[in-house]
Amino acid sequence: MTSMLSIHAVALWAGVSILFMIGLSAVTVRRRRRHLVAFGDGGQAELTAASRAFGNATEYLPVGLVALLLLALVGTPSLVIHVLGATLLLGRVLHAVGLLYQRGPSMGRVVGMILTYLALLVAAVTLVAYGVV
């Protein structure tokens, strides 16, 4: 049975994730304006980093949010939704910071990907477990 607390937890993490993505989009737009680039990255490393930070968020957050919603619908406790949502978003934030403000390999990118993969892996295994039990 679906708990409304779990659905509300998903709503929280979806809303915060959307706000985060809007923020990343704004960073990209500001950098496009600064470098007078309408499309692509214009060969500007700073703009490439901003575009990839936004792109990576749009690649990982939607699947993570769908997983959170499915977990809520199959009855996963809201605490689990909150832990996974926080882990996913923290991973994406650290990854974006590592891309936006550090050159080359960065601890933010590494830790961000580990947290993202961890949240997605736990969600996936939990969904599979619900599916076979």
Q: Check which CATH number belongs to the domain holding 110 and give it.
A: 1.20.120.550
| Residue 108 pLDDT exceeds 90 | yes
Contacts of residue 61, Cβ cutoff 8 Å, sequence gap at least 6:
17, 20, 21, 88, 89, 92
Contacts of residue 129, Cβ cutoff 8 Å, sequence gap at least 6:
none
Comparison of pLDDT for 9 and 42, the residue scoring more: 9
Contacts of residue 7, Cβ cutoff 8 Å, sequence gap at least 6:
72
Q: Which of 1-10, 52-61, 79-88 has the lowest mean pLDDT?
A: 1-10
Cβ atoms of residues 13 and 93 within 8 Å = no
Cβ atoms of residues 89 and 106 within 8 Å = no
Q: Which domain holds residue 31?
A: 4-132
> How many domains is the chain built from?
1
| pTM of structure | 0.91
Q: How confident is the model at residue 133 (pLDDT cuts 50, 70, 90)?
A: confident
